[in-house]
Amino acid sequence: MKKISSVYSKNREVGRLLLIILCWLIFMSLTQAKKFYTMPNFLTMAGQFPEYGVMALGGMLCMITGGIDLSVVGTANFASILCVLLLTRVFGVDGVMPPAFSAVLFLVVILIGILVGSVNAGLVSKLKVPPILATLGMNQFLTGLCIVMTGGAAVSDFPKQYCDLFSQAIGGVLPVRLLVFLAVAFLIWFVLEKTTYGTKLRMYGTSARAAEFAAIDTGKLLRKTYITSSICAGIGGLMMMANYSSVRADYGSNYTMQTILIIVLGGVSPNGGKGRLSGVVTAIVLLKLLESGINRFRSVSTYYVTLIWGVVLILALIMDYMGQRTARDH
Amino acid sequence: MNNSVKRLFRSNEPYIFLIIVILGIAVQIRSGQFFTANNIVDLLSALIVPGMFALGEFLALIAGGIDVSFPALASLSAYAVTKLLLDREYQGNVFLAFVIAALIGAVLGALNGLLIGYLNLNAMIVTLGTSSIFQGIMQGTLRANQLAAIPAGMKAFGTTALFRGSNAETGISSMLPMTFLVFVAVCIVMYLLLRYTIFGRGIYAIGGNPASAHAAGFNVRRTKFLMYIMIGIIASLSGICRVCMMQQMHPTNMLGMEMNIIAGVVLGGVSLIGGRGTLTGCILGTFLIVLVENSMILLGIPTTWSNVFVGLVILIGVSVSAYQTMHVRRAKSMNTKEAA
Amino acid sequence: MANSLLKAEHIKISFGNVHALRDVSLEIRPGEIHCLAGENGCGKSTIVKIITGVYQRDGGTIEFAGKEFGKITPIDAINAGIQVIYQDFSLFPNLTVEENLALNTEVASGKKMIHWKKVQEIAREAISKTNFDIDLKAKVEALTVAQKQMVAISRALMYNAKLIIMDEPTTALTKKEVKALFDVILQLKSQGIAILFISHKLDEVFEISDRFTIFRDGKLVATGNTKELDDKKFTFYMTGREFEDKKFEAVHISEKPVLELDGLTMEGAFQDVSFRLHGGEILGITGLLDSGRTELGLAMFGMRRATSGRILRNGEPVVIANPGDAIRHKIGYVPEDRLSEGLFLPRSIGDNIIISEIDKLTRNKIIFDLKKRDAEVAKWVQELEIKTPDPGNASTTLSGGNQQRIVLAKWLACDLDVLILNGPTVGVDIGSKHDIHNILQKLAGNGLAVIIISDDLPEVIQNCSRVLVIRSGRIVKEFQSRDVSEQLIVDAMM
């Protein structure tokens, strides 16, 4: 009995989100069953959420440290634009890209991630700059570089085999982008739950000062964390590039807020120290289901999606507040 | 005397001021166009909207909170007012627009205030959520589109010059719109409020130590609630100024400004942990960002580089001030030991 | 009987099922210095909160200045003339001294505007009452702890206080500052103000108070004149146990020194510190708060960098640039501020114990081995007798003494050769203090080299085999503790 209640209390966020998902699915089956419950619709959803989903996964790690990464979108665009420049340089504007070359693109993304993440982490751990400002400045700077490289316009002339490769679904059921997302999610779950990194990360998020006195190498810990976040952002950038068939300095600009919303909704405390992958993944799925579901109603403006996200976030906060109050009363 | 000079140089303002002057001189050397009447007027006019937003953000930061919802809030109320007056074909002056905007701003700000003040929820997350809600209401419920025409009163207000500055050499002249008066008025009100009212001192007290503020007899919840209402009002006024100056209402082009505004305020020495910072610093920091954004052309740098430079200014600025506080703290711990 | 300022009788209060106070009484006479003592959790802060109207009592009567207190609010208590100075002083660090002094009065007056001239007047008047000399325009965050305390006291005096309650006021003060504080307290007494002084430091109780009251487990165990009290009785009343303080004798001293400092210097903190430490020894380092003793400890642990000089381990010079290096060289450090530096308070006891050795608890160097972890946690909980039903509970659920054991366990788990402790029993109650001393003596008996940095002289003399005295950053004296007295050490410190 004690075990059950402790499992529940550990997974309260996930449980709550699953409940909302269930209600929503029932509501959709009552109102828009035919349009919503179709294979193509689910395939579309599965192809779309990974791009911001993967960014949210990386951002989650930063938030567990008590920090935040506001440079994800800038990093994503920076990575995708550099990749396009590389592709056109190597293969020409309308050349043919061999599938194996995508490995090189991933390598580029990893290098960018290491660079951007190290600078972010350095500012936070060495100079003690508040993370919100360090990553904000970084985002501004990277976005600026993107504008300089593209002149601010969209670049859509590059070997399109890349987009085809990333937009297909294996066997017609498993979109490549989803596969990449799952792989990243698995890796992050593994380091967070199966290695000592997760414990150290949460301890650091609880008290950075005590972590230093406990001889945790905090500089290294933050470096790992921000680099992972930047790499995830870069991968998100690769997905956006495939999705839009083009790159631009201001693509996905609302993803900054959206990823933070997802992370918090997934039960990660902005004060640090607390957070699980399962919560964040559930939040990602929930948001996509909501968005896609609303889009099925022709009479409802798609902009209501933003409204509903906001309401869901505030509701989650209020539920938390109520939960804490009753917990205190007992 | 000596003490107060020392105290001055321990704060951020003189350094920011120095950087602004150096930047100004650099632009002057490069283009000869900095200290010209029209450039100064242009800069001041570019400061109006960010400056007012910064004042609102300043309040939130001083109380130990933060607000990222003000661009959405300002867009929503400015859009609603413009649309309402257009539909009614209102021909009167701009005053009514400001009054309605202030009312809407107060209601929207009250939502933030309720959640942050009375329920004591995390300010960053709450305003993130309400930002989504405001944007959703504007674009979803009101189906906001660009409004190319604006009511006559607002149009007049935005085109009437408070004064003009012209450059004798180039013959280019710029005007400072009447909206500048609104900015100045808000500055003065804020100064008086923060300096001479118990409410204003309460905001500082709450930012310094919320528990002590409660013990000292401040109504912490109500103070925060009222403060977010004020932030809503200031943001809405700023939104109307923006519409008047642009001569059109674009629902989304204010969105995304929040981060640069926060950066400017923090550059001016306002602490993210609350309680510390001055109005002068807040305006100087914001002015620095405006200056960098607007001086690219004069420096002969293509405008495409503007984001790069703003980003660099933020990164370097916050690094230097973080480094400084780290050293001051270390030096201080030594000092107190000597005194002890 | 009319001669009492505060008379609280048969006070009861419970929170849920916990009876925090069961029938306690407290009587304070006008103009006396009364000491309230007891171990953590004995109910001494609860009764303060009842007297000041923060908590409502379940039973009993309170009479203050001849008037019956019914249900009271904090404002009522202030108006009646009761003031509390909490350990955090309830000041606003970001505001100036004058504003801190005047703000409460200004808010209470119900005015909407602030008159800065009035603020200055109020502030001047406030500091004149205690002859306290300070720059009124200075920000409170720039003051020393003692100055902050004086601001808090000056503020309290503005309400025509008849009773001032001070919650462990000497905790963060230097010896000199404590003396100054006692002078102020005596001055207040001469003005007819009663002081309720909460402390568990023996020597202070004896020095300052006229009468005392001791609580244990929510019950009154003793009250009377301080003159009739002695060490033994005091300890017995506090803990309900009798202790025999065992003097430490170093028996198994290693042949070669395990740790050597050679001319270690940190600019502005300490200069040219040299000593040798052998395994099996307990070395005491004592000095005033500003003597550089803490910086010396931090430098040996790599939290601060020394500017010159060498550290040698087993005769080999080593570089200790960060705590990671220190652990690799088998040096551990128990920090001064347990709550913010030593522990991850909301985290589990288990996580706190294993955090520093966590990288050893893996399979194939990658997978975090939870079985090994749990075994390690269980081992140390048992070894150090940490009193908890479940090591998965948060560290906040434990008392100060048990929390300190977690910090000890964390370092012992790292298999160290040298353990440095800074103020190992600050804020720990007498019973646990005794136990911690026993643990340290046992560890040294097993060959560990221990350094205790402390200004608790009885602790140093009882537990250390040698004592170094540091003054203004220099080691000025070395004593063998078997032939030293407190007075000799104090003379060297000052």
Where do the domains of chain A lie?
42-324
Instruction: Determine contact, residues A120/A224, Cβ cutoff 8 Å.
Output: no
The alpha carbon of residue A298 is apart from the nearest alpha carbon of chain C, in Å, by 49
Please give the ipTM for the structure prediction.
Answer: 0.84
Using alpha carbons, list the distances in angstroms from residue C173 to C16, C167, C294. 37, 13, 14
CB contact under 8 A, B311 and A307: no
Residue A269 C-alpha, separation from nearest chain C C-alpha, in angstroms: 14
For residue C22, the cross-strand partners are C12
Task: Give the residue with greater pLDDT, C93 vs A300.
Answer: C93
Instruction: Judge: A147–B304 Cβ closer than 8 Å, yes or no.
Output: yes
> Averaged over C307-322, what is the pLDDT?
92
- Which of B134-148, B178-192, C270-284 has the weakest average pLDDT? B134-148
Distances in whole angstroms, Cα of residue B111 to Cα of each of A303, A311, C238: 20, 12, 52
CATH topology (fold) of C257-493: Rossmann fold (3.40.50)
Please give the structure tokens belonging to residue C433. Answer: 């203090």
Report the range of poorest mean pLDDT among A172-186, B159-173, B276-290, C265-279: B159-173
Which of B121, B130, B311 is the closest to A141 by Cβ?
B311
pLDDT band at C290 (very low <50, low <70, confident <90, very high): confident
| pLDDT score at B1 | 44
Average pLDDT along chain C: 87
Chains in contact with C, where contact requires at least 3 CB pairs less than 8 Å apart? A, B
Task: Output the six-digit token pair for B40.
Answer: 């100064």
Q: Which helix (H) or strand (E) holds A111?
A: helix A102-125
Q: Which residues contact A296 (CB under 8 A, 6 or more apart)?
A: A28, A32, A35, A36
Average pLDDT over every residue of B251-263: 87
CA distance B206 to B191: 18
> Residue B310 carries which side chain, given as an amino acid letter?
V
Q: Give the model confidence (pLDDT) of B261-316 as tens digits.
A: 998 998 888 888 888 899 999 999 999 999 988 888 788 888 888 889 888 988 88
Query: Which one, of B17, B56, B50, B65, lies nearest residue B271 by Cα?
Result: B65
Taking CA atoms, what residue in C is nearest to A201? Answer: C355
- Give the CA dihedral A211, A215, A219, A222, nearest 10 degrees: -40
User: Thinking of the domain A42-324, which architecture would CATH place it in?
Assistant: Orthogonal Bundle (1.10)
Whether the pLDDT of residue B328 is over 70: the answer is no
Contacts of B272 in chain C (CB under 8 A): none
- Integer angstrom CA distances of residue C1 from B19, C5, C471: 72, 10, 51
Mean pLDDT of C299-325: 92
* Residues C361, C108: Cα–Cα separation, whole Å: 58
Residue B290 CB partners (closer than 8 Å, separation 6+):
B43, B46, B47, B50, B51, B264
Is residue B166 helix, strand or coil?
strand
Q: Among A253, A306, A313, whose Cβ lies nearest the Cβ of B125?
A: A313
Q: Taking residues A231-245, report their average pLDDT.
A: 93
Query: Which domains, from first to last, does chain B contain?
Result: 2-339 (1.10.3470)
Mark yes or no for CB contact B196/C137 under 8 Å: no
| CB neighbour class for B181 (10 Å; exposed up to 12, middle 13-18, buried from 19) | middle
Q: How confident is the model at residue A9 (pLDDT cuts 50, 70, 90)?
A: low
Q: Which residues of A touch C343 (CB under 8 A)?
A: 207, 210
Nearest one of C288, C45, C334, C338 to C173, comparing CA atoms: C288
Amino acid at B320: V
pLDDT in tens, C443-453: 999 999 999 99
Note the helical H segments in A190-273.
196-206, 208-213, 218-244, 255-265
Q: Name the residue with higher pLDDT: B119 or B340.
A: B119
Distance CA B176, CA B188 (A): 19
The predicted model gives A174-193 an average pLDDT of 94
Asked if the C6-239 domain carries CATH number 3.40.50.300, the reply is yes
Question: Each residue of A53-109: pLDDT tens digit?
Answer: 999 999 999 999 999 999 999 999 999 999 999 999 988 887 888 888 889 999 999
Reading the block at residue A296, the tokens are 């099925």
Residues B130, A261: contact at Cβ < 8 Å?
no
pLDDT above 90 coverage of chain C, percent: 32
Q: Please report the pLDDT score of residue B8 as a whole number.
A: 59
Nearest to C144 among B202, B209, B336 (CB): B336
Q: What pLDDT is stored for residue B336 in this prediction? A: 41
Question: Does A316 or C210 have the greater pLDDT score?
Answer: C210
Q: Once rounded to an integer, what is the mean pLDDT over residues C198-224?
A: 86
Contacts of C367 in chain A (CB under 8 A): 194-195
State residue C82 phi and psi, 5-degree precision: -110, 130
> What's the token pair of residue A119?
């600078």
The 3 state secondary structure assigned to chain C is CCCCCEEEEEEEEEECCEEEEEEEEEEECCCCEEEEECCCCCCHHHHHHHHCCCCCCCEEEEEECCEEECCCCHHHHHHHCEEEECCCCCCCCCCEHHHHHHHHHHHHCCCCECCHHHHHHHHHHHHHCCCCCCCCCCEHHHCCHHHHHHHHHHHHHCCCCCEEEEECCCCCCCHHHHHHHHHHHHHHHHCCCEEEEECCCHHHHHHHCCEEEEEECCEEEEEEEHHHCCHHHHHHHHHCCCCCCCCCCCCCCCCCEEEEEEEEEECCCEEEEEEEEECCCEEEEECCCCCCHHHHHHHHHCCCCCCEEEEEECCEEECCCCHHHHHHCCEEEECCCHHHHHCCCCCEHHHHHHHHHHHHCEECCCEECHHHHHHHHHHHHHHCCCCCCCCCCEHHHCCHHHHHHHHHHHHHCCCCCEEEEECCCCCCCHHHHHHHHHHHHHHHHCCCEEEEECCCHHHHHHHCCEEEEEECCEEEEEEEHHHCCHHHHHHHHC
Token pair of C246 as six digits? 């065992």
Q: How far is B189 from chain C (nearest CA, A)?
A: 14
Lowest mean pLDDT among B93-107, B117-131, C102-116: C102-116
* Span C146-173, pLDDT tens digits: 889 889 989 888 888 899 999 888 877 7
Min Cα distance C26 → chain B (Å) is 25
Asked which of A211-215, B163-167, B333-337, C454-458 is least confident by mean pLDDT, the reply is B333-337
DSSP helix, strand, coil percent of chain A (3-state; round to 5): 75, 0, 20
- The amino acid at residue B38 is N
Under 8 Å between Cβ of B80 and B239: no
Nearest-angstrom CA–CA distance, A139 and A120: 10
- Dig out the tokens for C254 from the structure: 């290693």
Which regions of chain C carry the CATH code 3.40.50.300? 6-239, 257-493
Instruction: Please provide the average confidence, as pLDDT, over all residues in chain A.
Output: 88
Q: How many CB atoms lie within 10 A of CB C491?
A: 11
CB within 8 Å of chain A, chain B residues 318-337: 318-319, 322-323, 325-326
- Kindly report the nearest CA distance between residue C316 and chain A, in angstroms: 22
**Residues in contact with C342: Cβ distance below 8 Å, sequence separation at least 6, in sequence order:** A210, A213, C334, C335, C403, C404, C407
Q: How far apart are the first and last CA of chain A?
A: 18
